[in-house]
Each structure stands twice: as C-alpha cells, then as structure tokens.
C-alpha cells in the first residue's frame, strides 16, 4: 500500500489551495512512526456535501495535523497543516475564502489526551469546521466550547467513512475503531507470529475488546484470506495479507482491512484478497459501503 501523505511546513499552519499556480501542493511522502487518517462525509442543509480528511501524525519532529477538504466532485479545495505542539498553536482558528466558499477551522488541543500507541486524541479537545457559517463537522468532547465560537442551529450531518493507520509492534498491534455512527468505540488487537520455524506454529489472532473473534493457524499457507466476524451484531468482513512479512527479502508491511457488510450477497460472497492493498484507497469516499478500517502493520525489530 502506498505511503500516506504527511505535510510538514515551517509554520504552525500552512495552506495550499487547489487553485495555486503550480497546481500541486507541497507534500512529503513518508512513513511516520504513528499515523492515523480519518475520512468524513459531511452533508450540508442544502444537500451539497464535502469530504474532509484528517491525518494525525507523530514523529521525532513532534505532532502534526493535516486537513484536506474536497468538494462533491472530489476536487481539493484546500489543505491545511497544523502543528499544535509548537509554541502557542495548541489552540486557534483559521478563516479561508476560496471563491464563493467560506471555511472556518476551530481547534483546541491544549489539554488533549492520547493513547500511547496513537497520535489521534481521545478526549479533552475539540476540532470543528464550518462552511459558509454552517457547522459541518465537530470532533471531541468539548462541544459546548465550539458552540460558544460558532452559532449553530443544527447538529452537523457527518458520517465517519473510513480510517487508515500505520501501526507498529513485534507480535501485537493495537488500534481503536467505531464501526458505525455513534456506536461503541472498540479496542482491536492483532496478534501475529510469522517468525516460527515450522508452518504449523505460525498464527494470526484478532481480539475485539480483549475477546478473541478470529484465529488463523498455519499462516504460512494462509497468508491471504478473508473471514466474517460480528461486532455489535453487525457483520464485519476481515481481510488480511501478510505475504510481505513471510516471503519478501526486504520486509514491508502487512495489511488488514475491516469492512462493514450491508447485504447478504456481500456477507456470503467472496472477493479476491490480492486486491486488498487498493481497497482502502478506492473505498475511502464511499458512503454506501459503510465503514472501512485499513491497518498497515510494521514490525519493530
């Protein structure tokens, strides 16, 4: 799977408009030590919609938040780069005028709390975007603070479409996921041992909230595959591809995809898991296919 983009600028906030003379924003493709990319489908009251992608990264340089806003034609309106851990940039706002569209971004990460394995905040923060003075996205547990800054008569109509993350470990890899709407946030742990000498000892084990939901034995024979599990009564397809770990000279990343199922045909049908590495990219803007979680797992040697 191709690396996720991460933007690094000299200033706390950097903007690159799609209408710039070069036509291409300045980005640096690299693998961050921790990276989480979340995609939201945000619909306005006039039924137009926007796709908002937030990419949280953490590296030796510090923490960073990249924002991309696309219109309904999937054309990039703007990109912003926020480094909230530099100087006084933990709290702020930015107003942009792009043609006839007014965009306001408000955030406060001063007291944000994080899990040890993720750059994405879990509490003590807010992040909000308003377009043409209509609040379309709000994240965090400090909504009251947002409403003090933005006069919103309606709750945002935003759908969490997909999450992509780079995760690191030796045999265990952890992340969190919310598979639908305002559903429960679950802890996902993937345990995988591919370093054994015998075929029968290699295995893959997936736990949801500490409970085993899927196990694959003889992984060197079953390095690609798919299986269906139930989460909150909802069928979720799990695809895995650990071929790189097992057979490539220069070890790359294993890929895992969790995709919510919406039909019986989808539930009982089969797909070629060899296309796994393109699924997250192709589905990230699709609301009709439910929620997808793509994990790129890297081994710490």
| 56 three-class SS | strand
Single residue among 161, 181, 196 that ends a domain in this structure: 161
Residue that finishes a domain, picked among 117, 144, 161? 161
Mean pLDDT for the stretch of residues 84-93: 69
- Band of the pLDDT at 285, cuts 50, 70, 90? very low
**Could you list the residue range(s) of the whole structural domain that residue 45 is in?**
5-161
Q: Are residues 202 and 247 in the same domain?
A: yes
Residue 146 and residue 113 share a domain: yes
Q: What is the pLDDT of residue 169?
A: 84
For the ranges 130-139, 225-234, 250-259, 283-292, the lowest mean pLDDT is seen at 283-292
pLDDT of residue 258: 95
In this prediction, residues 134-141 reach a mean pLDDT of 92
26 pLDDT band, cuts 50/70/90, is very low
Residues 35 and 145 grouped into a single domain: yes
The total domain count for the chain is: 2
What is the side-by-side order of every strand in the sheet holding 62-70? 13-17, 76-82, 62-70, 49-59, 34-43, 157-169, 292-299, 254-260, 234-241, 224-231
Note whether 124 and 191 are same-domain residues.
Answer: no
Last residue of a domain, one of 128, 161, 194: 161
Do 137 and 198 fall into the same domain? no
**pLDDT of amino acid 268:** 34
């Amino acid at each position: 799977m191709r690396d996720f983009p991460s933007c690094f600028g000299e200033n706390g906030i950097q903007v690159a408009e799609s209408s710039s003379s070069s036509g291409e924003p300045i980005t640096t493709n690299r693998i961050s030590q921790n990276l989480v990319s979340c995609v939201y489908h945000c619909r306005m009251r006039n039924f137009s919609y926007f796709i908002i992608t937030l990419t949280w990264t953490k590296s030796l340089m510090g923490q960073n938040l990249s924002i991309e806003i696309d219109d309904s034609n999937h054309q990039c309106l703007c990109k912003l780069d926020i480094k909230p851990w530099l100087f006084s940039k933990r709290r702020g706002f930015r107003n942009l005028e792009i043609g006839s569209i007014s965009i306001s971004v408000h955030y406060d990460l001063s007291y944000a709390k994080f899990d040890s394995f993720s750059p994405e905040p879990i509490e003590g923060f807010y992040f909000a975007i308003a377009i043409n003075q209509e609040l379309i996205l709000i994240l965090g547990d400090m909504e009251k603070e947002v409403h003090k800054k933005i006069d919103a008569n309606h709750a945002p109509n935003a759908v969490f479409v997909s999450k992509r993350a780079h995760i690191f470990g030796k045999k265990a890899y952890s992340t969190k996921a919310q598979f639908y709407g305002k559903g429960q946030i679950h802890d996902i742990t993937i345990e995988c041992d591919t370093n054994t000498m015998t075929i029968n000892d290699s295995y893959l084990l997936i736990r949801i909230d500490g409970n085993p939901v899927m196990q694959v034995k003889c992984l060197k024979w079953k390095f690609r595959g798919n299986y269906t599990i139930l989460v909150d009564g909802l069928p979720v397809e799990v695809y895995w591809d650990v071929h790189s770990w097992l057979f490539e000279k220069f070890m790359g990343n294993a890929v895992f995809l969790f995709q919510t199922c919406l039909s019986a045909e989808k539930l009982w049908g089969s797909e070629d898991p060899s296309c796994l590495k393109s699924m997250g990219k192709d589905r990230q803007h699709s609301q009709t296919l439910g929620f997808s979680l793509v994990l790129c797992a890297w081994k710490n040697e």
